[in-house]
Amino acid sequence: MNRWQQIFRDGLWTNNVVFAQLLALCPLLAVTGTATNGLGMGLATTVVVVLSNLAVSLARRLIPGEVRIPVFVLLIATIVTLVDMTMNAFLHDLHRVLGLFIPLIVTNCAILGRAEAFASRQAPLPALLDGLATGLGFTWALVLLGALREILGAGTLFAHASLLLGDAFGFLELVVIPDYDGFLLLVLPPGGFLVLGFMLAGKRVLEARMGRAPTPDGAGCGGCAMAPATT
């Protein structure tokens, strides 16, 4: 497996922000009441983590270890604010839907985690790809968690997707269980913890079936040091 495949394998599965590192739980649990909200949050986060990885990687030789954390925090907060303002001005309709989520991105410690563990030690191109892989890994985790909570909690899937993606994506909006009364607990925040717990258990079972659980490789090791023991 070459280096690029390794980066994407780590971001999407082995070292997935949600399923392996258990980071970013604040935005995760806050927005995954529906699959559509999960997708919106995931895409906005992907943009920010790509930009922040790139910026940190470009500046990595200038930044001494002693003050790196405040500098990273400054960079990330600035990028989030700039993305927020730019979207509000130029992609106003999308901002009206995603606007709620963008300020929440600064609470996402996974972005700081990637800056610290990967981007501050790597050249710009791998750092950018790692940001993309991490963001996509976060996105699919959010969409899956949102989809499960939405189906079990409200009986629908991708409700209001056309508000986020445009009318062309109206076909995504499905009623999975017609005349469903809803299961309130799963839509409220505790449901996020419950469903996430079942998904983590499911991932363990899957990895056990596939043989030995793969361990995160050296490139991402700062990330695993920050995360709770997961393997």
Partner 1 sequence: MNLETLRQRMLYQTLLLGGAALLVSALLGLGNHGTAGLIAERNAGDLRDSLSEVLPARHHDNDLLADTVTVPRDDEPVLAYRGRLEGRVNAVAFAMDGVGYGGPIRVLLGVDRTGRVLGVRVLSHSETPGLGDGIERAKSDWVLDFDDKRLGNPPPGDWTVQKDGGVFDQFTGATITPRATVAIVRDGLEFFAAHRARLLHEFPPETPIATLEHPHP
- Give, as ranges, the residues between 75 and 94 that touch partner 1 (CB under 8 A): 75, 77-78, 81-82, 85-86, 88-90, 92
Residue 209 to residue 60: CA distance in whole angstroms: 40
CA gap 18, 199 in Å, rounded? 10
Interatomic CA distance for residues 153 and 187, integer angstroms = 5
Which stretch in 3-11, 12-20, 74-82, 119-127 sits in contact with partner 1 by CB under 8 A? 74-82
Please give the residues from 174 up to 203 whose contact with partner 1 meets the rule CB under 8 A.
181-182, 184, 187-188
Selected range binding partner 1 among 63-71, 120-128, 166-174, 220-228, rule: CB under 8 A: 63-71
Can you give the C-alpha Rg of the chain in angstroms? 18
Residue keyed to tokens 């990273």? 72
Single out the residue of 11, 33, 135, 220 in contact with partner 1 (rule: CB under 8 A): 33
- Could you give the 3-state DSSP secondary structure of residue 60? coil
Sequence-ordered list of residues with C-beta below 8 angstroms from that of 49, at least 6 positions apart, any chain: 110, 111, 114, 131, 134, 135, 138
* Cα–Cα distance measured from residue 168 to residue 158, given in angstroms and rounded to the nearest whole number: 13
Note whether 45 binds partner 1 by CB under 8 A: no
Smallest separation, CB 43 to partner 1 (Å): 17
Q: Which residues in this chain contact partner 1 in the complex, by CB under 8 A?
A: 31, 33-34, 37, 61-64, 66-67, 70-71, 74-75, 77-78, 81-82, 85-86, 88-90, 92, 96, 150, 153-154, 159-160, 163, 181-182, 184, 187-188
